[in-house]
Structure 1
Amino acid sequence: MDQKMLDAIGDISHAGDRQFKSSFTGAKLVPEQAFAVVYRKPSKAFDAYIEKVSRGKCIYIRDARFTKAELWGHAMRIEKERPYWRERGIEVNHFTVETDGSVVEVGVLPEDLAQALVELPQRYGTAIPPDRSAGAYSARGRLGTGRDSRPVPVLSGRGHRHPAPCGPGGTAGGTLLG
């Protein structure tokens, strides 16, 4: 990954967190394939900014269901309610937000997972797909050490597509909108 790409993603992330909060979700570098992905809610202004600072580098723009601010707002609501969950026998101990804007994951103790998979969605009005089991998440090594917590998705959007490598016919000015 060269310095121009790092600078471009740094500028995009910085502006996303400040100027484009209502659109920006996250940015992900894929150094082994020399490209980056910016996730955002569609915004002509933000897309134009990304094009401007892309420095001719391969940066894919992908739709996201939620912004970073929305996801962290949801996570902080759960954080404020930790005493409630403790009273119910669920120890909430970690949060993470997916860069692609698809999910807030909440870490709970392994012995609390079954109850959390039922009660967190009930309280927050979200659905957890039934195939999202503790084993599937712990195998991904997402939160903590993998021994002290298991993530529970509590706000789900749509998944992302992996882009094809940038190249002839695949990009417009280094950026593929889609």
Structure 2
Amino acid sequence: MRRCRYLLRWLLLGAVLVTGSCGEPETPEPGLVGGWTTAGCEFTRRPETVTVGGRVLPATPAALEAAMARIDAGGRAEHAGSYAGLEVDQERVRAIVYRVPSAAFDEFIRTSADNTCIVVRDAGHSLAELTGWHDRIVADLPAWQAAGVRISSVVARHDGAGVEIGTPDVERAREELPRRYGRQAPLVFVEQGPVIPLAEPGVPPAPRPGG
């Protein structure tokens, strides 16, 4: 699956995450206008695994992976104003799609899901919008460095919450960046030191339910 990613020693932009959990499929928490699930979530499926180097690891079933690829491709193209990102929950054999509420995109998700389980949740911002903010901030990194504001990472969050700014100077960044980008800019500040770049960027883990 193609993911929008920017790497600059310590920068990562992605739209797909992996999460692991146990139990029956859950009803999504209500968002801006509430969430919903596809018909495939009515069925309980046995998680799939793969053995790598003697270790048994969770795996994404081919049907679910294909549905995710269709939704991701359509979300980035025809429904870019709504699509925020997705994550896969391999142990519950489902994917979670985040989107700015859109009847047209919801119908596309239903069609693309086939008989797989897709949980749909609301997002405040689309990936296209956050990518614009992400690229703008990345372009300004030399200026921020010259101003003494240390930025370790810039990430468009897959849940559409905003552009996450990792910095060891949280309070200063929270004060300085909105002055340039406006108080309404969708920025989320987190404390983070320098990040060592990955040799081969993979799919990072998402927080477990309730985490």
Whether the TM-score (by the shorter chain) exceeds 0.5 is yes
Aligned with 1:115 (options 163, 172, 186): 172
Amino acid in the other structure paired with 1:63: D
Structure 1 unaligned blocks of 5 or more? 147-161, 164-178
Query: What amino acid sits opposite 1:43 in the alignment?
Result: S
Deviation at 1:97, TM superposition (A): 1.4
Q: Which residue of 2 aligns with 1:41?
A: 100
For 1:38 and 1:125, how far apart are their aligned partners in 2?
28
Whole-Å separation in 2 of the counterparts to 1:29 and 1:84: 37
| CA distance 1:127–1:145, shift in 2 (3 Å) | farther
TM-score by length of 2: 0.58
Structure 2 unaligned runs (5+)? Answer: 1-59, 198-208
Question: Is the 1:39–1:100 contact (alpha carbons within 8 Å) kept by the matching residues of 2?
Answer: yes
Percent of pairs with identical residues: 33
**Residue in structure 1 matching 2:112, options 18, 37, 53:** 53
| Cα RMSD after superposing both structures | 2.6
Say which structure is richer in helix: 1
SS at structure 1 position matched to 2:72: helix
Query: After the TM superposition, which segments of 4 or more aligned residues of structure 1 sit over 4 Å from their partners?
Result: none
CA displacement 1:109-165 (0-9 Å, x = unmatched): x2x44321221133222379xxx763xxx5xx9x8249xxxxxxxxxxxxxxx69xx
Deviations 1:15-40 (A, max 9, x none): 11111111111011011111111111
- Tell me the matched-pair count: 137
The answer (yes or no) to whether the contact 2:164–2:190 under 8 Å persists in 1 is no
Letter in 2 for 1:31: Q
The answer as to whether partners of 1:5 and 1:55 remain within 8 angstroms in 2 is no
